[in-house]
Amino acid sequence: MTFLANALSRVKPSATIAVTQKARDLKAQGREVISLSVGEPDFDTPEHIRAAAKAAIDRGETRYTPVLGIPELREAVANKFKRENGLDYKASHTIVATGGKHILFNAFLATLNPGDEVIIPSPFWVSYPEMVAICGGTAVTVETHMEHGFKLQPEDLERAITPRTKWLVLNSPSNPSGAAYSFEEMKKVTDVLLRHPRVHVLTDDIYEHLVYGDFKFVTPAQVEPELFGRTLTMNGVSKAYAMTGWRIGYAAGPAALIKAMDLLQGQQTSGACSIAQWAAVEALEGPQDHLATFRKAFQERRDLVVSMLNQASYLTCPTPEGAFYVFPSCAGAIGRKTPEGKVIESDTDFVTALLEAEGVAVVQGSAFGTGPNFRVSYAASNELLENACAKIQRFCGSLK
């Protein structure tokens, strides 16, 4: 009898964490490394949010909270969904957890039985299929393509749905591609779902506020109100409010699902950090001025990175609508050799050789289910990005 659970055999380590660790190891050896592998804003949490956390400490808000979250934050979440997304959730239909990851995991754990299928468009955030596997479900990945902007096509979704399908996971804007669905594109997806009433939608809207130009964000239940009763709308404060370490995610959905997630969370972590919850109230209800500043900076960085990567030999980099990632193809580099004679046979070979040769850490697209590509996070200064992209250009130019 083995000591460790069989479920662990179904789970792969996070590739993004692995690349970050390799970059750290090279730094420890004295190498200069530019890491563009982490999905974390480089901005500080806005001052008014930090002040709210300090005030909460001074008021003694340091005790256990209700499992589902403090009432003030649940009201703020319901208000946010109504104000920004036109979704009329009651506070009693909301849940607060220790990050968006916790929300997703609890939703899968509360609903999946062995054999249940979860449709996940690829490229996907690395944790989706692993969470499904841990919870006993089967991840069904549906490939998207660069020529469609890495967006799920209705006919591909239709083909993927079976009698076992329980969830469709949608992440818009997307990690890793930055792709975001317009109203018209989302409507084509929701039209398919209307024909399959047993399929629920888990929408990960964590990058909602990071969209650029004239693009307008939409979420599925907003586009198709008939899906309201079978949609879990998930969001959080980590990306738009530069609060990754505060660990606050939230969601709203059907009462029965929220009750089930409450039951699970009560036996796991109970309520999220009290101080972080009060900070999140301020994030959602306080001044939003910083969002325009964040968007302006990220759009400038996106345009810089897309331009420079498209000037590199063998790379093709589309311009994404949102988030802070680009997902270029390195198909042109496959089969070529480094100056040392090593053949680039995959996107993993490409990112490994790039890190070793130039000290630039990015993540291979195959980790996100789509290759040969790689993900670049442009949550870094313009100077650092310009330097990194010049190194990528030099590396690509060295391939024969």
Phi and psi, residue 22, nearest 5°: -65, -40
What is the band of 86 on the pLDDT scale with cuts at 50, 70, 90? very high
- Token digits for 342? 């090593």
16: pLDDT strictly greater than 80: no
Q: Cα–Cα distances in Å, from 337 out to 315, 344, 360, 363? A: 15, 6, 18, 20
Give strand pairing partners of 118.
Answer: 139, 167
Reduce the DSSP state of residue 233 to 3 states and report it.
strand
301 Cβ partners below 8 Å, 6+ apart? 324, 378, 379, 380, 382, 385
Side-chain half-sphere exposure of 239, counting CA atoms within 13 A: 25
Read off the pLDDT of residues 286-333 as tens digits, 9 standing for 90 and up: 999 999 999 999 999 999 999 999 999 999 999 999 999 999 999 999
Domains of the chain (ranges, CATH numbers): 6-44+290-398 (3.90.1150.10), 49-285 (3.40.640.10)
Q: Which of 166, 179, 167, 238 is nearest to 206 (CA)?
A: 238
Rounded to 5°, the CA angle 10-153-311 comes to 85
8 Cβ partners below 8 Å, 6+ apart? none
Read off the pLDDT of residues 163-179 as tens digits, 9 standing for 90 and up: 999 999 999 999 999 99
Rounded to whole angstroms, how far apart are CA atoms 165 and 143? 17
How high is the pLDDT of residue 8?
84
Rounded to whole angstroms, how far apart are CA atoms 126 and 29? 28
360: pLDDT strictly greater than 80: yes
Distance between first and last Cα of the chain = 52
Q: Which of 277, 393, 255, 382 is nearest to 324 (CA)?
A: 382
What is the pTM for the complete model shown? 0.96
Q: Which of 119, 132, 126 is nearest to 159 (CA)?
A: 119
Find the mean pLDDT for residues 224-245.
98
How high is the pLDDT of residue 218?
98
Find the mean pLDDT for residues 269-297.
98
Sheet holding 374-377, edge to edge: 325-326, 374-377, 363-364
14: pLDDT strictly greater than 80: no
Q: What is the mean pLDDT of the chain?
A: 96
How high is the pLDDT of residue 9?
83
263: pLDDT strictly greater than 90: yes
17: pLDDT strictly greater than 80: no
What is the band of 282 on the pLDDT scale with cuts at 50, 70, 90? very high
Read off the pLDDT of residues 96-137 as tens digits, 9 standing for 90 and up: 999 999 999 999 999 999 999 999 999 999 999 999 999 999
What is the band of 20 on the pLDDT scale with cuts at 50, 70, 90? confident
19: pLDDT strictly greater than 80: no
Q: Cα–Cα distances in Å, from 56 out to 240, 261, 277? A: 22, 27, 9
What is the band of 257 on the pLDDT scale with cuts at 50, 70, 90? very high
Please list, residue by residue across 207-228, b when 16 or more beta carbons sit within 10 angstroms of its beta carbon and e when fewer do.
bbbbbbeeeebbbbbbbbeebb
The CB density around residue 191, as the number of other CB atoms within 10 Å, is 14
328 Cβ partners below 8 Å, 6+ apart? 309, 315, 316, 317, 318, 373, 374, 376
